[in-house]
Each structure stands twice: as structure tokens, then as C-alpha cells.
Amino acid sequence: MINFNRFKLDNGLTILVHEDHTTAMAVVNILYKVGARDESPEQTGFAHLFEHLMFGGSVNIPNYDAPLQSVGGENNAFTSNDITNYYITLPSNNLETAFWLESDRMLSLAFSDQSLDVQRQVVCEEFKQRYLNQPYGDVWLKLRPLAYKVHPYRWATIGKELKHIEDAKMEDVKAFFNKFYTPQNAIMVVAGDVTLDEVKALSEKWFAEIPSGNIYERNLPQEPKQIEPRHEVVEAEVPVDAIYIAFHGPERLSSDYYTTDLISDLLSRGSSSRLYRCLVKENPVFSEINAYMMGSIDTNLFVVEGKPLAHISLEEAEKNIWNELEKIKTELVLDAELQKVKNKIESTMLFAELSILDKAMNLAFFEMLSKAEDYNLEVEKYNVVSPNDIQRVAREIFVKENSSTLYYKSKAKENVE
């Protein structure tokens, strides 16, 4: 349970305040409602590149990081397909420094050519380090366009290719800022050793004069229902084969989202989970196997991925996964097993409340999704899921026509055989 207060500035900026005086720190978390899904197909990776540029100096402050570090603070940010989230942690008596820095870059960036030049290179190196120069690193560059044909989820946050990043121009950077980085497209959460009055006064002082900007109406092409199984094979210099099966699943706001999330827990959370028990331990087919939801806002992906043992073919591995999926479709899950994954949700939520940063991020995310109050209803939404719900949703999702299967084959292994 996280308590908070909400208020809104005239320019449209929403601000939430969560007081926790057990810490001497404060968090300022700003979520901008823009992610890779808002990019043009010809300029992918731009939201993430832009995140890097947000640290390249703002209109009145040439250097973002140093003044924050000078008062004992730290910051970071991440971009997903749905959102871009920036956060600062600092000693609470220096809270105003965070307001000064964040308000200036919401007002306007410096748009320095040097920053754009360097960050283009840094992001290209990040692209190589995480996606191109790693075994299996490019899986999502293959799997997303296999599973999504229309929705912008068909490209990864890093972008489709290095060239899109290399080609980024300053005029695009400015247009992106003006379109998305407005007070009404942002949610700010201030948490920790702070008071509501103090946050109200600082917000008025630093953020109120920022022009509200234009409203951005999101109108994304939605993914049509998949009607045929999809299959792709890639070969790469990896020592071990891997298989990925992606199914379309419910949107984040659907009540079936919770059911689907629990299905992934039944299949793969902890050492007692079904896939681990059956396919790693009792009937060893895989060295590792996982099932999880992407947690996207629009139509989701439910992914099962695994690395079969050396003597197991990908066809056989796939068959074994389907056997487990069939079980969850045909046999009602026992109450005790369902209760087990619900108990894990309950304890996980307790962990999330140990950190003011986690609390701030969760409030911002739920405020963006629907309203922050809904965060406190999460446990209950999981708790009402019944064995029949599990079976019904499993039957909807786990069908071949809803699946995209990627065989990631080892070239080395082929040569040996």
C-alpha cells in the first residue's frame, strides 16, 4: 500500500507526492509518455537516442550531471517501447537542485551539436554491446517483426538498425522534443523525505512557467488478430540452439492480463514451476527454460524461451513445450498451486515497497496507465483469478495460429554433426 497526494499545475503537469520519512533521501521521477511505439518506422531507436540527449545540457544549464553529483545525487533513465522514465535520487535537503535541473530540461534543451554527435556514437556502441556483439543478442530484432506485422512494437527500443541512429538530425531532435516533452505529457512523482507543501511550492516555482505545449493524440495502428502460425529459422555463431515461441496476449489494462501473468508464473517462476520441474529436472530436455509476459501496454507478447540440451533437436524441444501448454489448457490447475503463485505476488509486492525509487516508479507508471490509486489494487486483481480463468485464457492464447516460433540454430553444432 503506497499513500500519496496528487495535484496538477495549470500547464498540465501532474505531480504525485509520497512521503516516507524513514529515509533521508528523496526521489524525483519524471515519466514522459513517449516510447519506441511513437516513432516513425523510418526513424526507429529515436526515443532512446533522445533519452541520451536529455543529459547533454539544457537551455540555462550547460551540464546536467555535475551539479547533481555535487549535491550528493545520482540519476539515470530508461526507455521502453511505451515510456521514457528519468529519475534522480538525492539527499532530501538538496531536493531543490532536482527541481532546478528537471524543470530546465523540460523548458528546453541546449540542442548541442557536439552532444548529438557523441551520443549517436555512444548509442551505436550500446547497440553493438547489447544486441550485435553478444550471443543471442539480436533475438528481439528478429522476434518482434515476426510477431508484430503492423503495430510499432515490431521494432525494438534500440531501433531496427544502426543506420537509423547514425542518420538522426538536429531538426528531428527539436521536433521530437516539442511534440513529446511537454508538461501535459509528463508525470512527476516526488517521494521520500519530503512534504506535500514543500513539493507544491517547489513545483510552482520551477515548473509553473513552462508552456503547456500541444496535446499529443496517440493514434497507433493496432495489430490485427494473427490467423496463421509463423515460423522462422536463423543460424548464428552460438554454441547452443535456442527456441523462442511468442504468443499474442491481453493488453495491460485487461483483467485477463493478471490471469496471463499468473500463467507465466505457474509455468516458470521459481524452482517449483512446471517448465523447470518437468523439462529441466524430471525429463531433462532443456538446460534452461523461461516463460514471461512482456508487460506492454498494447497487445502483449507471452514468450516461452529455452535452450535445449545438446542431444535434443529444436523440433523435439518445441513438442515438449507444447505438451506442457496443452496440460494447462486441459487440466484445471489445483487451488494450492494457484495459491502458491499468488503468495509469491504478495511477497514480491512487499519487496517493491522497501525502496522509495521503486515506489515512485510504480506510482508514475500506474498514473500513466490509468490512475496511481490502481497500484494499490494490484494484489487484489491477482487474487480474484480462478482456476477456470487460467484454463480459459490458456485456451485462447496457446494455439498455433497465435504463435510465432523462432529457431535460433547453432552453426557450430551443425558442423559437428
Partner 1 sequence: MLNRSVAPAFKAIKNVNLVEPEKYVHPNGLKSFIFQAPELDLIKLEFTFDNILLKEELAILNPVLSSMLKEGTHTLTSKEIADTIDFYGAFLMPEYSFDHSSLTVYTMHKYVGNVLPILADILQNSVVPQEELDTHIRNNKQSLQISLQKNDVLARRFFYNEVFKGTRYGTLPTEDTYDSIQREEILELYKKQIQPANCNLFVAGNVDESLKKMIGEMFGQNWQNSTDLVKVTSLNFDSYSTKLFVEEKADALQSAVRFGGLTINRRHVDFPALQFVNTLFGGFFGSRLMKNIREDKGYTYSIGSFVGNLRHTGFMTLASEVGVDVTQQTLEEIKKEFEVLRQEKTSVEEIDLVRNYMQGTLLGSLESIFSHVDKFKAVYFSGLDINYYTYYSDVIKNMNPDSVQDMAIRYFDYDKLFKVVVGKI
Q: How far is the CB of 310 from partner 1 (least distance, A)?
A: 7
Contacting partner 1 within 211-250 (CB under 8 A): 237-240
CB of 223 to partner 1, least distance (A): 31
Sheet holding 84-91, edge to edge: 5-8, 14-19, 186-192, 25-32, 84-91, 74-79
Which position among 323, 339, 383, 388 is part of the footprint of partner 1 (CB under 8 A)? Answer: 339
Binders in 47-66 for partner 1, by CB under 8 A: 59-61, 65-66
User: Measuring CA to CA, how many Å separate 281 from each of 70, 76, 137, 284?
Assistant: 52, 40, 27, 5
**What does 141-170 look like in DSSP terms, one character per residue?**
HHHHHHH-SSSGGGS-TT-S-HHHHHT--H
Q: Judged by CB under 8 A, which stretch of 32-40, 78-86, 175-183, 336-344 contacts partner 1?
A: 336-344
Instruction: Decide if residue 406 touches partner 1 (CB under 8 A).
Output: no
Kindly state the smallest distance separating residue 403's Cβ from partner 1, in Å: 25
CA distance 289 to 307: 6
Among 25, 49, 156, 186, binds partner 1 (CB under 8 A): 25
The number of residues that bind partner 1 (CB under 8 A) is 80
Least separation in angstroms between residue 245's CB and partner 1 is 20
CA–CA distance, 176 with 79 (Å, rounded to integer): 14
Q: What is the DSSP string of 333-352?
A: PPHHHHHHHHHHHHHHHHHH
> Binding pattern to partner 1, positions 177-216, x when CB under 8 A?
----------------------------xx--x-------
Query: Which of 82, 104, 256, 324: binder of partner 1 (CB under 8 A)?
Result: 104
Q: Rule CB under 8 A: which of 63-92 touch partner 1? A: 65-67, 69-74, 89-91
Choosing from 42, 351, 416, 417, the residue that interacts with partner 1 (CB under 8 A) is 351
Looking at the Cβ atoms of 73 and 183, the one nearer to partner 1 is 73
Please report, for residues 38, 148, 150, 358, the alpha-carbon distance to residue 258 in angstroms, rounded to integers and kept in the order given: 26, 22, 25, 20
- Phi then psi dihedrals of residue 31, to 5 deg: -105, 125
- Segment near partner 1 (CB under 8 A); pick from 243-251, 325-333, 344-352, 370-378: 344-352
Q: Considering only residues 6, 11, 19, 23, which one is a binding residue for partner 1 as defined by CB under 8 A?
A: 23
Task: Report the DSSP beta bridge partners of residue 74.
Answer: 89
Residue whose CB is less far from partner 1, 289 or 368? 289
Q: Which of residues 149-178 bind partner 1 (CB under 8 A)?
A: none
Would you count residue 354 as binding partner 1 (CB under 8 A)? yes
Q: How far is the CB of 206 from partner 1 (least distance, A)?
A: 8
Total H helices, total E strands in the chain: 16, 11
Interhelix angle 113-127/170-180, rounded to 10 degrees, is 90
Strand 403-410 and strand 286-293: the pairing is: unpaired
Tell the smallest beta-carbon distance from residue 57 to partner 1 (Å).
11
Strands (E), 222-360: 230-236, 242-249, 286-293, 300-308
- Cα separation, 90 vs 69, in Å, equals 9
- Find the shortest distance in angstroms from Cβ 408 to partner 1: 12
Angstrom CA distances, 320 to 91, 233, 286, 317, stand at 52, 18, 10, 5
Choice from 11, 94, 290, 376 touching partner 1 (CB under 8 A)? 94
Output the CA torsion sign for 265, 86, 106, 24: positive
Binding to partner 1 (CB under 8 A) within 260-319 occurs at 269-273, 277, 280-281, 284, 287-288, 307, 309-310
Using rule CB under 8 A, residue 24 touches partner 1: yes
Name the residue type at position 139.
V
Least separation in angstroms between residue 327's CB and partner 1 is: 17
CA 101, 107, 112, 115 torsion: positive or negative? positive
3 is an interface residue for partner 1 by CB under 8 A: no
Q: Rounded to the nearest whole angstrom, what is the least distance from the CB of residue 17 to partner 1 in the complex?
A: 19
